[in-house]
């Protein structure tokens, strides 16, 4: 069911995360300090916000639509393929994160101007914006693979002006300084918004990296993370990416993206990237710095059409029971490979045995069933995920120091280390595992065999 967003005050999601008292104290003290002191205080505000950041709302943007077909393959139209992927992704996100609000810029074949897509995300105060597209290159039928774009640095000043304009509505309110804790027209407000802009770019780059990693894990070719001045990226005021899922100029990739299996594969890769990103952000693994590390600049390969005046855009809200059209059955609860060998909590977090068992994939069918696993809330450290079983001959797999389980979840084989009663113990184990070669390891939470949000698990165990 489609629903329209009510117009309202647009405040950057990052600023909503700051405690009101902290913002007011911050604003009052900034004006009495030197620029260096101001920068230090603002950076401290970023650290404080990172500790309380929660991803509550995501906007998925299927590119093109209606009179704008996007690029064409031999028989496929971009607008149809990206809509199919977007619907699959929306269904997966709701299945995996029931409390997450998912909005689509369109859920049918209609035209939505570019500026209105960004405006929808801004008004919704989204925490992440994912625009889905297909690529095309003339005269090069052999080129294939995915690439994920973030905003180019040459558009940074324009993006900052967007953020300032979106927040200028505050000035129309009485006592806006007391209510919001800062003046958007003041030098202090400029410092805060500049910091937020850089933090968003840093987070965009991180999510883009995770997308490309998961595309590669799904046996697709990754062409990497790039930067460009796409309108929907430079007009949004939250972490935003544009995913080029593949080339319709390549016949094999066109056939893959046109198929239901292909669209589900891409959607699962995006959902897995989101899963990892959400876990990192909400547990403070991705810090919000003043200046982000930048990806290399790359030429734009597809240019969205210029925005045109059309009727107001609809925000399509995805219900908790939503599923993609013709989607397969909902993923079952994860199946535990075998009963793990428990390790004492303190020993698991501080001392690592020389070798650790890896429970083989072939034991999945004959191992402990879901019904026999007690529904205890616990934490694990996820090391890897793959559509096919991994080769475990690398030395790092023999030196984890923890029992590693293999579960099947959402079409992936997931490799998870240990079972911990508290998040603190799991986080300490995660750091050890990163030092042992698993750089992308992150903490996940389960109740028995049902995956649950980290926040919920922490509230029930701390």
Residue bearing the bigger pLDDT, 159 or 126? 126
Mean pLDDT (whole number) for 197-223: 87
Q: Rounded to whole angstroms, how far apart are CA atoms 268 and 274? A: 10
200: confidence class by pLDDT, cuts 50, 70, 90: confident
Q: Please tell us whether the domain made up of 345-461 is placed in CATH 2.130.10.30.
A: no
Token reading at 350 = 């501080």
Element (H, E) at 339: none
Q: pLDDT tens-digit profile of 353-373?
A: 333 444 444 333 333 333 334
* 35: enclosing H helix or E strand: helix 35-52
Segment 99-120, tens digit of pLDDT: 899 999 999 999 988 878 888 9
**How are beta strands 377-386 and 442-447 bridged, if at all?**
antiparallel
Predicted local confidence at residue 282, as pLDDT = 80
Tell me: pLDDT of 235 over 80. Answer: no
Query: Between 49 and 202, where is the model more confident?
Result: 202
E-strand stretches of 14-116? 57-62, 101-104
> Which of 392, 406, 407 has its CA nearest to residue 355?
392
Every domain of the chain and the residues it spans: 2-318, 345-461
pLDDT of residue 279: 86
Among residues 245, 252, 222, the alpha carbon closest in space to that of 142 is found at 252
Same fold for the domain at 2-318 and the one at 345-461? no
- For residue 168, pLDDT beyond 70: no
Q: Which residues pair with 386 in a beta bridge?
A: 413
| Other beta carbons within 10 Å of 173 | 12
- Is it the case that residue 309 has pLDDT exceeding 80? no
The rounded mean pLDDT for the chain is 69
Say what the pLDDT of residue 183 is: 52
Indicate the range of 200-214, 228-242, 278-292 predicted with least confidence.
278-292
Q: Place 150 in a pLDDT band, splitting at 50, 70 and 90.
A: confident
pLDDT higher for 265 or 326?
265
* Strands across the sheet containing 128-135: 2-3, 315-318, 101-104, 57-62, 128-135, 240-247, 146-151, 222-228
Q: For residues 359-381, b (16+ Cβ closer than 10 Å) or e, as one string?
A: bebeebeebeeeeebeeebbbbb
The pTM (predicted TM-score) of the whole model is 0.53
- Say whether pLDDT at 57 is over 60: yes
Q: Is the pLDDT of residue 5 over 80?
A: no
**pLDDT tens digits along 244-300:** 999 999 999 999 999 999 999 999 999 999 999 998 888 755 433 322 223 333 333
Residue 366 has what pLDDT?
35
Residue 307 has pLDDT above 50, yes or no: no
Residues 271, 273, 279, 283, Cα dihedral to 10°: -150
pLDDT band of residue 201 (cuts 50, 70, 90) is: confident
pLDDT, residue 356, reads: 42
Specify the pLDDT at position 284.
57
Looking only at the bridges linking them, the beta strands covering 377-386 and 412-420 are antiparallel
Task: Look at the chain and count its residues.
Answer: 462
Of the candidates 259, 227, 219, the one whose C-alpha atom is nearest the C-alpha of residue 244 is 227
Please state which CATH class domain 2-318 belongs to: alpha beta
- Is the pLDDT assigned to residue 398 strictly greater than 50? yes
Going along 136-189, which residue ranges are E strands?
Answer: 146-151
């Amino acid at each position: 069911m489609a629903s329209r967003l009510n117009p309202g005050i647009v405040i950057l999601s990052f600023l909503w995360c700051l405690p009101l008292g902290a913002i007011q104290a911050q604003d009052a003290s900034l004006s009495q300090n030197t620029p260096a002191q101001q920068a230090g205080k603002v950076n401290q505000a970023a650290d404080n916000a990172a500790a309380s950041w929660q991803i509550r709302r995501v906007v998925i943007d299927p590119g093109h639509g209606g009179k704008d077909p996007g690029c064409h393959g031999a028989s496929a139209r971009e607008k149809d393929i990206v809509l199919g992927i977007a619907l699959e992704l929306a269904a997966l996100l709701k299945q995996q994160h029931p409390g997450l609000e998912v909005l689509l810029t369109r859920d049918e074949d209609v035209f939505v101007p570019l500026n209105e897509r960004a405006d929808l995300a801004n008004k919704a105060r989204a925490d992440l914006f994912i625009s889905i597209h297909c690529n095309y290159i003339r005269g090069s039928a052999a080129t294939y693979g995915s690439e994920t774009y973030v905003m180019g640095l040459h558009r940074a000043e324009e993006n900052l002006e967007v953020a300032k304009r979106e927040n200028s509505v505050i000035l129309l309110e009485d006592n806006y300084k007391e209510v919001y804790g800062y003046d958007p027209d003041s030098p202090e407000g400029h410092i805060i918004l500049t910091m937020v802009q850089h933090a968003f770019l840093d987070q965009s780059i991180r999510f883009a990296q995770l997308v490309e990693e998961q595309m590669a894990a799904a046996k697709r070719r990754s062409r990497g993370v790039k930067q460009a001045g796409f309108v929907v990226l430079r007009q949004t005021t939250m972490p935003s990416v544009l995913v080029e899922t593949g080339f319709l100029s390549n016949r094999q990739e066109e056939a893959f993206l046109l198929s239901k299996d292909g669209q589900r594969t891409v959607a699962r890769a995006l959902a897995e990237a989101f899963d990892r990103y959400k876990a990192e952000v909400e547990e403070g693994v991705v810090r919000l710095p003043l200046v982000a590390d930048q990806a290399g600049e790359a030429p734009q390969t597809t240019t969205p059409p210029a925005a045109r005046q059309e009727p107001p855009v609809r925000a399509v809200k995805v219900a908790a029971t939503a599923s993609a059209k013709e989607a397969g059955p909902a993923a079952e609860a994860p199946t535990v490979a075998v009963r793990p060998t428990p390790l004492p909590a303190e020993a698991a977090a501080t001392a690592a045995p020389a070798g650790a068992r890896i429970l083989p994939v072939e034991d999945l069918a004959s191992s402990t069933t879901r019904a026999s696993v007690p529904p205890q809330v616990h934490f694990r450290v996820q090391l890897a995920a793959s559509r096919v079983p991994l080769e475990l001959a690398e030395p790092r797999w023999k030196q984890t120091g923890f029992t590693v389980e293999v579960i099947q979840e959402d079409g992936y084989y997931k490799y998870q280390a240990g079972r911990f009663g508290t998040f603190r113990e799991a986080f300490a184990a995660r750091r050890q595992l990163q030092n042992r070669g698993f750089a992308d390891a992150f903490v996940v939470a389960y109740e028995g065999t049902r995956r649950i949000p980290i926040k919920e698990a922490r509230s029930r165990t701390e």
